[in-house]
Chain A
Amino acid sequence: MADLTAGPEKTPPQGNTADAVRASLARRNRKQKLLQGLGLGAIGFAFLMLFILVASLVSSGYQAFTQTKITLEVYVDPEEIKPEKLPRGGFKDVLQASLSELLPEADTSDRATRKALAGILSNGAQFQLRDRVVADPSLIGQTITLTVPVSDPYDQLNKGTIDRDTPEQNRRLKDREIAWFDQLKAQGVISKPLNTGLITNADSRFPELAGLKGALIGSFWALFVCFAISFPLGIGAAIYLEEFAPKNKISDFIEVNINNLAAVPSVVFGLLALAVFIGWFGLPRSAPFVGGMTLALMTMPTIIIATRAALKAVPPSIREAALGIGASKHQVVFGHVLPLAMPGILTGTIIGLAQALGETAPLLLIGMNAFITSAPDGPFDSATALPTQIFIWADSPERGFVSRTSAAILVLLGFLVTMNAIAIYLRNKFERSW
């Protein structure tokens, strides 16, 4: 090719071929540039999409990691809260009294005003006060300092997602309420600390109170059950198929089955769990145990495939050496091959579990999308899981849940990144090349 382009003057013209090549070269190179450009564009598109995905989640989710709170001096009025009536009592009225002290010009004789005033505090504020008084009844009659969350609209206002310039009738907070909030802010009682409730609270109808505790514990149990079932079963199956199984029709059939299971849509596994585990076996709905079993069936093919690859990677010389000094086939596999393959197996298992952690559809079908306001006590209690909690929150109309959903997704992605990082670390640390 170099000859063709380099020396047209010295050598006599080689006829039409060389001319044709020379004439078309620019066009051909343009075509190559075009293909390169398109390829680069495709990669750029994928990058851009990932960037937009992450950026939109972070920009809408970061605000859920803080929570607007108000600090009140509460006089625990013995008139309203009587020790003998605990845990009942007028906690709401007590809180409101201390709030109206901060906003003296609000006319508390007007019912609508009182209601609007009460709307500043989160619905959970009274329970926070109640729990504190119940724990220590001697507080009755004293003045205590209490920091409670404000309700969702004020939280949004403080974080700037409510635009003050929208006309009043289209705004969730009226001018009067915004004025109150500004007044409170000027008095320095409004703070915006780290939102620990996102991790320590269970689900709630009120965005400012909703947290991921129930979902985290539910996901933990589901993954635990999934691991406890799929890890031994997967390894057992893989060892048998790789090391012991005779090459016959039955082994082939099992292999085909495993490969197909890996490609069955996840929602079908949900149908299986619903019909068999819940319908026929009568196991409880919404339980992480059932979720874990379902996920185990889906994770098992992944673990089997990874384990077989890891076993294959152990060189035959190891097996032959062990056999040669008199070990039995089982002793060879369990004493030598399996320990050497363990890093590869663990890597595959962690990646499989990370997939299971993000799996949503089968959990929806077995009812792990229930609204549950307390964390589960065990694997048989009703619970949600992280991805189903995201689904529930994404369906909720309140503005505050949008940022909660993004925050929950960020938490989920955080777990996935961590698990994958551990898998990569294991692979790099322990992988041996023979």
Chain B
Amino acid sequence: MTTFVFAALLGVSILGYLLNRRAAAGLRADGARLHSLPGYHGLFSFLSTLVPVLVLILLWLVLQGPVIDHVVMSGLPAGSLDDLDAGSRQLILAEIKSIARGQIFGEPEQWKLDAAQRYLQLQRISGWVLLAIVVILSLTIVALARSRVGAAFRARHGVERIVSGLMIFCSTVAIFTTIGIIASLLFESIRFFQMVPITEFFFGLNWEPQIPLREDQIAAEGAFGWLPVILGTIVITVVALFLAVPVGLLSAIYLNEFAPDRLRAVAKPVLEILAGVPTVVYGFFAILVVAPAMRSFGASLGIPVSPNTALAAGSVMGIMLIPFISSFTDDALSAVPRSLRDGALALGATRAETVLNVLFPAAIPGIVGGILLAVSRAIGETMIVVMAAGLIASLTINPLDSVTTVTVQIVTLLIGDTSFDNPKTLAAFALGMMLFVVTLIINVFALRIVRKYREAYD
């Protein structure tokens, strides 16, 4: 049905294009001096039909679902929904929908079968009404557009106005996305903080989100303190930086100052490959190779290493960050003016002294900005830690232990559970909010440092 609607709209719009173009071409053939080329007359009709009706169809499709759900649920026989909370109502609705799709499990009650019947009927009606509206509306617009064809009609200006409007819409999508992120996170977080006191979330030392599943114990145990989670995130981030910063810095310095051209030609693409490997692959690498290797190494030294030690997740994350840091360092070193380098060399400094004492201090702001961006990357990185880090939040800074992170908790809290009415799922949104705010602050700060520094030498 929906395909039909889109096909009908497209067909009518193309019809409008052809009609207008022919009419305009006819006028020109009769000797009139047109303001716009016939093609613009056609495009004007095409766009002024397509754009508004398409918006209408999309709005209809978005609103149709909730409206039909509401009608079906309110049409159920009196008494069948009494004493049911929102969750069980959702379940009944889902059952009705699956019956409507022809997936019948067991023997549903008669009123559910009736409701499924009504659901299908409403969908059919909605589809036909939409098709009728679309056809009538688009034909009307085509007729209106056709009546405006004339020598003096500024079709090109009309087309350009519509195209400009579309482009402005495109660029506001980024704003809408940001608004969507903030709104959804804020909305669900506020609901979370209505169930769990805000002080407990920020200062609690226990994170045991599984407990509230048993309803009589909600928040009774102080189970939503995010400190152990954020501590685990910090531990893994620090491990990652301990690996990534020296390796990234040294390789960038070497590539920038000492490497022969042939090595540079090979090394840059290799680093780019490291940057392009999907994080799920790094996660599998951590559990397949790195964690077992660290465990057996620890065992040979007699040190107990947890199977999902923060060291494994952190060091693999460090490998992921190497190209990130080295490319930022590279940019920062290359941006240092030549005169500084030449001056140092002319004074008799070795290349190493030039790099360490002249170029590096001058490039520090850019490098720090890059490292800050890497920190925000590490905090927000998900797949490596989901696969290789632990699930239990423990208050420890020992990297050999198993720790959990903010992103791990978000993913584990939300996998397989969608009801938005218990603190367990909502806690994920509160964590997401914190993650978004923290990374945003770091990013803004880092980008400002990088930009300010760049301006200083330009």
Residues of A within 8 A of B (CB): 1, 4, 21, 28-29, 31-32, 34-36, 38-43, 45-47, 49-50, 52-53, 56-57, 60, 232-237, 239-241, 244-245, 253-254, 257-261, 263-272, 274-276, 278-282, 285, 297, 300-301, 304, 328-330, 334, 354-355, 357-361, 364-365, 367, 369, 387, 390-391, 394, 402, 405-406, 409, 412-413, 416, 420
Contacts and interface: CB of A to CB of B under 8 A. Distances in A.
Given A35-B253, A260-B443, A268 B435 contact: yes
A95 to B, nearest CB: 31
B273 to A, nearest CB: 6
A267 B382 contact: yes
Contact of B382 (A265, A272, A304, A412): A265
B185 A271 contact: yes
A415 to B, nearest CB: 10
B174 A261 contact: yes
A254 B171 contact: yes
B284 A268 contact: no
B178 A267 contact: no
15 contacts: A32-B350, A46-B267, A46-B271, A50-B274, A52-B289, A233-B173, A237-B174, A267-B410, A271-B181, A275-B188, A276-B184, A360-B278, A364-B415, A390-B280, A412-B281
Nearest to B160: A330
Contacts of A36: 254, 258, 352
A413 B172 contact: no
Nearest to A43: B251
Contact of A35 (B164, B247, B356): B356
Interface stretch (B62-70, B132-140, B208-216): B62-70
Nearest to B257: A39
Contacts of B255: 39, 43
Given A253-B175, A271-B429, A272-B177, A365 B414 contact: yes
B55 interface: no
Q: Which 3 A-B pairs have the closest CB atoms?
A: A39-B254, A265-B380, A358-B278
B380 A268 contact: yes
Given A56-B285, A263-B439, A361 B407 contact: yes
B167 to A, nearest CB: 4
B168 interface: yes
B281 A409 contact: yes
B340 interface: no
A232 B376 contact: no
A53 B285 contact: yes
Interface of B: 62, 65-66, 69, 156, 159-160, 163-164, 166-175, 177-178, 180-181, 184-185, 187-188, 246-251, 253-255, 258-259, 263, 267, 270-271, 273-274, 276-285, 287-289, 319, 322-323, 348, 350-353, 355-356, 373, 376, 379-383, 386-387, 407, 410-411, 414-416, 418, 420, 428-429, 432, 435-436, 439-440, 443-444, 447
A283 B113 CA distance: 23
B352 A46 contact: no
A241 B171 contact: yes
Contacts of B382: 265-267, 360-361
B229 to A, nearest CB: 14
Contacts of A358: 276-281
Contacts of A264: 181, 380, 436, 439-440
Contacts of B164: 240, 244, 330
B254 A43 contact: yes
A297 B177 contact: yes
